[in-house]
Amino acid sequence: MIFAYIALLLYTLGIVLSFKRENSYILSAIGSVFATIAGIVGTFYPFELGRIGLLPHVYMSMGVTHTSGIFMTVAAIAWIAISIYSIDYGKFYSKDMGVWLNLSILGMMIILMAKDGLTFITGWEIMTASSYLLILKHKGSFKEAFEFLAFGELSTVGLIIAFASLFLKNGNFSFTQNSGTVLFLIASTFAFIVKMGIFPFHTWLIGAHAKAPSNVSALLSAPLTLMGVYGIFMALSIMPDLHLYNFEWWGLLAVAFGAMSAFWGALQAVATKQLKALPAYSTIENNGMILAAIGISLIAAGDPSLTILSEFAITTALLLVISHTFSKSLLFLSVGHAKEALDEDNIDDLRGAWSSVGRIPALGILLSGLSFSAFPPLIGFVGEWALLESFFQSYKFQSLAARLVTTFSGIFIALAIGMAAFSMIKLAGYTALGYDHGKKAKKMRSIFMRISESFLMVLVLGFGIFAPFVVRYFGYSQFTSGLFGVPSPFLMISSIPIFGVVSPTFFAIVASVLFLFPLAFYLARRHGVRRVNSWNGGLPLEKNEYFSAPAYSAILEIVLKKIYITREKHLNGEAHIEVVDIVNVFYDALKKSVLKVESVLSSTLMNGNINAYVAYIFAIFVVIFLIAG
Amino acid sequence: MKWWPVRGITRHLTEKSSYELDSSVKPMNNIFKRSLHIYMIDVGNSNLLNFELKALQSTQYNTHRFGIYFSDSPRHSDLLIVLGKPTEKMITPLMNTIKQMPEPFGILIVEEDEVFDLKLPNVVGRLKNPEPSEILGTLLKIMGRN
């Protein structure tokens, strides 16, 4: 309990002592360490932080439960990495960035500890507003920041409706067992999936993540969308009677939207050419997979004989949460490091980061890319294995609708996982492992950036190898076992009786032993290897003669012409292939029509003519007078 | 009928009747006894040497019967034939080409009147204004066949 107080105090101190840049970042890093401890303590021994009464029946209270403890641990570890990274990275931006970073983290902490609607919405607004100001720190990002704010407030509207319905039913805002209503579930789910960037509410995420400073991108992508996931967990935990077939429709919708979102995110990630838009689309994909796993768990929760599948799907969602939070923070931080050092915006222009920027950021991009490509034994592999296992078990469902939806969604999820690997090869292969451009990196102090990236790399690898212990930490020790000569608890099982098994620990051991032979061979023969450039008739390769990143994905863009709306554009004598995110077309049309209505209204109603204005006020007064009277 | 075609038939006008191989040309490596792949780079000659090299592949000389082939990439070749004296712009491509040659490899320098003084690695011989038969003889000696 004391740790949570210390964490809150340190974040506040970080806001106050922001006259020196390092202060606020160091304080938020230390505060996040305490938040991690508070999360771990709260997971095992849930505690209360007390309550403040505002009105009769209306009070604000905070505390940590088992679920929020898990989420706080995961989020706080990402906060540590982001804060440490910001000690170096924050120097490129003004001093108030530290204030907003601390405030944003404080808001998230309040959300995670909220025990009632008022506290929750307070934290939500603090987080949204300060994140908006953080995005604005990057020059020329006003449009994207405003889009972020618009969608953030859209989710706040959903939350207000949800908590109002909570108040109508119970007479207070507190999150207690069986207090939820159907309207609460619908409205809050809407609010949370907007925050998670689920298709078709994902457009704000791309612009905001691509334009924001890199530490802010990591904060937005991993912990901020995590708040949406936590919100769904929280909303479901206070719904009554999950064990009747009441909420199968919710599960079906979640699976369908999640699978669609995963597919769409992966599809657009393949085609994107912008450096930070690719991880942003990958965020959409991962959040879609998390939502689908929650949906599976809710469908299974309706059937008393499928409790184990329901629990496994929850474990899956939590594993995916960990995988996404750590790997995506690592990806954004490493990409941001390389981007800042080389001052480039496209994937193609960042080639040779391995030799020009450094080994650690390049390895960070590579490792997180491998994790998202489900490369064993990294944490991403464990999460995606569990997700596919959950989908394979959907044959156990009784209703036809559930079977059909999960089968077709499973196809989309599998496609998404495959295409995620395709897009991550594009990102890691061209930036970290690509041919060197020979471009010199900008000199800057990067020791804390390197520390933070190495810290996350160890976590991505370590949590993957020791995934069975992570599952035990979640409290689902029934899914770890020992079989086939693997000692307990190093084997993960996906159902009881056993359906599928995997042991990342032993995979790592076996693979590393098998890897020793090629390694020894390589080390023995290494000195005889001569490295030369590609043969180009004796001439050096020009920049446009390399096999570029757009060329890598062009094949898919041309084959799936109908989905991407691929067009060839000619610019300065060069031809480019351009793709469109079709959802953006809709939002652009909406934006245009709103602007048009606005301009018409401003020219007719509020045109600066004093007579018209007085008449307008008078008319409104009369209308209100009539209605009120 | 004019008389000179008869003279042309009876005498070898375009070819030296006999030549002496340069004693500095040494067999390159035992492994090329049966097959030698050649990459030719023209770094600046008056086109005369190109004709002589081209003649090697014609039916008259038919180098293929000895296992001598011309390849399209230095990465597939055992011997690099450098024709002429390098112009300023061709020095870098020449060096790049040498970098691409797989070990073991040799370089045969074929010059016109102008002699160049670049320190190239693994030079196995130098020819000056050679006839096709002289080049063929040199190649056979490099292969270690005579």
Give tens-digit pLDDT for A79-137. 999 999 988 888 888 888 888 889 999 999 999 988 888 889 999 999 999 999 988 88
Averaged pLDDT for residues B97-110: 91
Of A52-66, B28-42, B52-66, the one with minimum mean pLDDT is A52-66
Render the burial of A38-65: b for 16+ CB within 10 Å, e for the rest. bbbbbbeeebeeeeeeeeeeebbbbbbb
Q: Which amino acid is at A547?
A: F
pLDDT bucket at A59, cuts 50 / 70 / 90: confident
Residue A614's CB: how many other CB atoms inside 10 A? Answer: 10
Close Cβ partners of B139 (under 8 Å, ≥ 6 residues apart): B36, B38, B63, B66, B68, B79, B108
Mind telling me how many Å the CA of B123 is from chain A's nearest CA?
Answer: 19
Q: How far apart are CA A538 and CA A546, in angstroms?
A: 15
- SS3 for B40-95 is EEEEECCCHHHHHHHHHCCCCCCHHHHCEEECCCHHHCCEEEEEECCCHHHHHHHH
Bridge-based pairing of strands B36-44 and B68-70 is parallel
Averaged pLDDT for residues A25-45: 89
Most A CBs within 10 Å: which of B92, B96, B97, B101, as the mutation test of the A interface? Answer: B96
The confidence score (pLDDT) of residue A550 equals 85
Q: What is the pTM of this model?
A: 0.85
Query: In chain B, what residues touch A532 (CB-CB under 8 Å)?
Result: 99-100
Test B99 with A532 for CB contact under 8 angstroms: yes
Most A CBs within 10 Å: which of B40, B73, B77, B100, as the mutation test of the A interface? Answer: B100
The confidence score (pLDDT) of residue A343 equals 84
Query: In chain B, what residues touch A538 (CB-CB under 8 Å)?
Result: 41, 92-94, 96-97
- Is B13's pLDDT higher than 70? no
Ordered by start, the domain boundaries in chain B are 25-143
A529 touches B at CB < 8 Å? no
Test A535 with B94 for CB contact under 8 angstroms: no
Residue whose structure tokens are 């809709």: A586
The confidence score (pLDDT) of residue B67 equals 92
Close Cβ partners of A99 (under 8 Å, ≥ 6 residues apart): A14, A15, A18, A24
Bridge-based pairing of strands B79-84 and B106-111 is parallel
Residues A465-505 pLDDT 10s: 988 888 888 888 888 877 777 777 888 888 888 888 888 88
- Is A220's pLDDT higher than 70? yes
Q: What is the DSSP string of A523-550?
A: HHHGGG----PPPSTTSPPPGGGS--HH
Residue closest to A321 by CA, chosen among A40, A101, A42, A70: A70
Phi, psi of A446 (to 5 degrees): -135, 20
Q: How far apart are CA A112 and CA A116, in angstroms?
A: 11
A608 touches B at CB < 8 Å? no
Cis peptide bond upstream of B130, omega within 30: no
The confidence score (pLDDT) of residue A582 equals 87
Bridge-based pairing of strands A567-571 and A574-578 is antiparallel
Q: How far apart are CA A29 and CA A10, in angstroms?
A: 9
As a whole-number percent, the residues of chain A with pLDDT over 70 amount to 99
The confidence score (pLDDT) of residue A322 equals 92
Close Cβ partners of A333 (under 8 Å, ≥ 6 residues apart): A81, A82, A85, A214, A215, A218, A364, A449, A452, A453, A456
Query: In chain B, what residues touch A530 (CB-CB under 8 Å)?
Result: 103
- Is A370's pLDDT higher than 60? yes
Mind telling me how many Å the CA of A362 is from chain B's nearest CA?
Answer: 28
ipTM: 0.74
CATH of domain B25-143: 3.40.50.12280
Q: Which amino acid is at B101?
A: M
- Is B28's pLDDT higher than 70? yes
Instruction: Report the number of secondary-structure helices (H) and strands (E) in chain A.
Output: 24, 7
The confidence score (pLDDT) of residue A55 equals 77
End-to-end CA distance of chain A: 53
- Which of A530, A533, A538 lies nearest to residue B93, judging by beta carbons? A538
Query: In chain B, what residues touch A525 (CB-CB under 8 Å)?
Result: none
Phi, psi of B26 (to 5 degrees): -120, 150
Instruction: Report the number of secondary-structure helices (H) and strands (E) in chain B.
Output: 4, 5
A539 touches B at CB < 8 Å? yes
- Is A571's pLDDT higher than 90? no
Q: How far apart are CA A352 and CA A277, in angstroms?
A: 20
Residues in chain B: 146
Bridge-based pairing of strands A574-578 and B36-44 is unpaired
pLDDT bucket at A266, cuts 50 / 70 / 90: very high
Phi, psi of B33 (to 5 degrees): -60, -35
